[in-house]
Amino acid sequence: MAKRGDTARTSLKCILEAVLLAAGEPLDQAALASVFEDEERPSDAEIGQALAELGEDYAERGLQLQEVASGFRIQVREEVNPWVARLWEERPQRYSRAMLETLALIAYRQPITRGEIEEVRGVSVRSNIVRTLQEREWIRVVGHRDVPGKPALFGTTRAFLDYFNLSSLDDLPSLAEIRDMDGLEPELDLEPPVDPDATESPDDEAEDDAVDDVEAEDWAPEDDLDETEETAPPRNH
**CA-CA-CA-CA torsion for 190, 196, 197, 199, nearest 10 degrees?**
70
Cα 154 off chain centre by? 15
Contact (Cβ atoms closer than 8 angstroms) between residue 175 and residue 196: no
Q: Fold match between 8-87 and 97-218?
A: yes
Q: How far is CA 20 from the centre of its chain?
A: 20
CB contact set of 28 (below 8 Å; sequence gap of 6+): 70, 71, 72
CB 131 within 8 A of CB 227: yes
Question: SS3 of 113, please?
Answer: strand
Select 97-218's CATH number: 1.10.357.10, 2.60.40.1120, 1.10.10.10, 3.10.129.10: 1.10.10.10
H or E stretch covering 72: strand 71-76
pTM of the model: 0.60
What gap in Å lies between CA 9 and CA 12, rounded to an integer?
9
Q: Omega into 111 within 30° of 0, i.e. cis?
A: yes
- Per-residue pLDDT of 11-25, as tens digits, reads 999 999 999 999 989
pLDDT of residue 178: 63
Instruction: Give the per-residue pLDDT at 237.
Output: 38
Which residues, in sequence order, are bridge partners of residue 66?
A: 73
Strand partners, 65: 74
Angle between helices 97-109 and 127-135 (to 10 degrees): 70
Answer whether 223's CB lies under 8 Å from 131's CB: no
The topology under which CATH files domain 8-87 is: Arc Repressor Mutant, subunit A (1.10.10)
Domain boundaries, the chain: 8-87, 97-218
| Dihedral (Cα; 200, 203, 204, 207), 10-degree rounding | 150
pLDDT per residue rounded down to tens, the chain (237 residues): 677 877 888 899 999 999 999 998 999 999 999 999 988 999 999 999 999 999 999 999 999 999 999 999 999 999 998 899 888 876 667 788 899 999 999 999 999 999 999 999 999 999 999 999 999 999 999 999 999 999 999 999 999 999 998 999 998 988 776 665 444 444 344 444 444 343 344 444 444 444 444 343 443 333 333 333 333 344 443
Task: Provide the residue type at 93 as one letter.
Answer: Q
H helix intervals, the chain: 12-23, 29-33, 44-57, 81-84, 97-109, 114-121, 127-135, 158-163, 185-188, 202-218
